């Protein structure tokens, strides 16, 4: 079921990456879930999934979107401004939530690009601190200008020593960030070393979100380390959500 939504604000992070703030009356959701957003394009309703970035209870919904070249919906979303209407699913969906993720000592949140959004929602909501002792957010992008929400994340990490923020910028070298892909950082042990936390079956749960290659390759590396995919009927250490 769809409800009407209205864009009330947008924030541009670069010429392709933006956040939309949307007023829409949807059912309560859990941090980590996504809504579907749709626009009529050439006489058809084109809808796609977007993770919610806001914490539950906030007055407006917030999504982080990258305009994909030749994409059907995202360039049309990029053309919206305050006052424009769109359709929003009446309910959010998805199992990448703290309700589904088992309690653990160290929660690793690995995101590429716009997939940082659901983790920002979890951090804003704060309830992950009843779930784990340490949280590591690993945020991989191509260029420094792709780092949406970076000031807010740096502030959160500076206020809370239990949150470690690891940035990976693959196509340019910037101070304080890794210059390699997340998969390489895991394979070489650099992430564990930088976080001061080992990745193992006793202490770790890893949530992988975003680019399907990152998700598949990282999952394979973790399986080789002896970790298992988390299933309802068989608890494990790896939760995944692929964006395409």
Where along the sequence are the contacts to ligand FAD (CB under 6 A)? 34, 48-51, 63-66, 68, 71-74, 94, 113-114, 117, 241, 243-244
CA distances from 168 to 139, 144, 181, 239 (A): 6, 9, 7, 21
Smallest gap from residue 122 Cβ to ligand FAD (A): 13
CA angle, 11 as apex, 10 and 16 as ends, to 5°?
105
Smallest gap from residue 201 Cβ to ligand FAD (A): 27
d(CA 130, CA 126): 8
Residues 6+ apart with CB under 8 A from 124: 31, 53, 54, 55
In the complex with ligand FAD, the residue whose CB is nearer, 66 or 177, is 66
Using an 8 Å Cβ cutoff, are 240 and 208 in contact? yes
In the complex with ligand FAD, the residue whose CB is nearer, 41 or 82, is 41
Crossing angle of the two packed helices 116-125 and 150-159, in degrees rounded to 10 = 40
Smallest gap from residue 129 Cβ to ligand FAD (A): 23
In the complex with ligand FAD, the residue whose CB is nearer, 94 or 129, is 94
In the complex with ligand FAD, the residue whose CB is nearer, 14 or 188, is 14
Which residue of the chain is nearest ligand FAD when measured via CB? 71
In the complex with ligand FAD, the residue whose CB is nearer, 192 or 241, is 241
- Give the H or E element holding residue 63: strand 61-66
Smallest gap from residue 39 Cβ to ligand FAD (A): 10
Q: How many residues does the chain have?
A: 244
Smallest gap from residue 189 Cβ to ligand FAD (A): 28
């Amino acid at each position: 079921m769809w409800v009407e939504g209205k864009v009330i604000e947008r924030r541009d992070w670069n010429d392709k990456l933006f956040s939309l703030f949307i007023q829409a009356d949807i059912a309560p959701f859990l941090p980590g879930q996504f809504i579907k957003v749709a626009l009529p394009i050439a006489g058809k309703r084109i809808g796609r999934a977007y993770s919610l970035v806001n914490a539950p209870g906030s007055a407006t919904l917030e999504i982080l979107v990258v305009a994909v070249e030749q994409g059907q919906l995202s360039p049309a979303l990029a053309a919206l401004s305050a006052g424009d209407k769109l359709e929003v699913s009446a309910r959010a969906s998805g199992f990448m939530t703290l309700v589904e993720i088992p309690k653990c000592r160290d929660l690793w949140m690995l995101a590429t690009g716009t997939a940082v959004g659901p983790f920002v929602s979890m951090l804003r909501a704060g309830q992950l601190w009843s779930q784990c002792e340490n949280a590591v957010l690993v945020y991989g992008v191509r260029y420094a200008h792709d780092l949406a929400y970076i000031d807010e994340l740096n502030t959160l990490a500076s206020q809370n020593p239990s949150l470690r923020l690891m940035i990976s910028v693959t196509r340019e070298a910037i101070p304080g960030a890794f210059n390699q892909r997340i998969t390489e950082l895991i394979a070489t042990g650099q992430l564990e070393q930088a976080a001061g936390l080992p990745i193992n079956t006793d202490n770790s749960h890893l949530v992988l979100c975003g680019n399907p290659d990152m998700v598949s390759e990282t999952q394979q590396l973790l399986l080789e380390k002896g970790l298992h995919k988390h299933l309802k009927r068989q608890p494990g250490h790896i939760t995944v959500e692929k964006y395409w």
